[in-house]
Amino acid sequence: MNLPTFDAIRAVLIEQFHVDAGLIGPQVALDQLGLDSLALMEFVFAVEDRFDVRIPEERLDPRQAGVTLELLAVLLDEAIDDKASRDVASG
């Protein structure tokens, strides 16, 4: 997990969704953040927008139990790397 990616996720949770900073850690599951299912979807969209990437729905359903912030950060890192590879290839 890339620490700057996690820090950006953390910032979105605090700034846009008013989640208590004390509740946010890599092993925390999305369903433990106190957000309803709609807010969870909005949170994932906000994070994707921050990085200008999309995580395929088949890779991540934020409503699924046990999805952690660490997993979200890893999936974001993969999406960022994929986008960078496509940008280089299209040149």
Domains, the chain, ordered by start: 3-84 (1.10.1200.10)
Residue that is written with structure tokens 């912030």 in the block:
69
Task: Answer yes or no: is pLDDT of 83 > 90.
Answer: no
Q: What is the pLDDT of residues 4-40, one digit of tens each?
A: 999 999 999 999 999 999 999 999 999 999 999 899 9
pLDDT of residue 91: 64
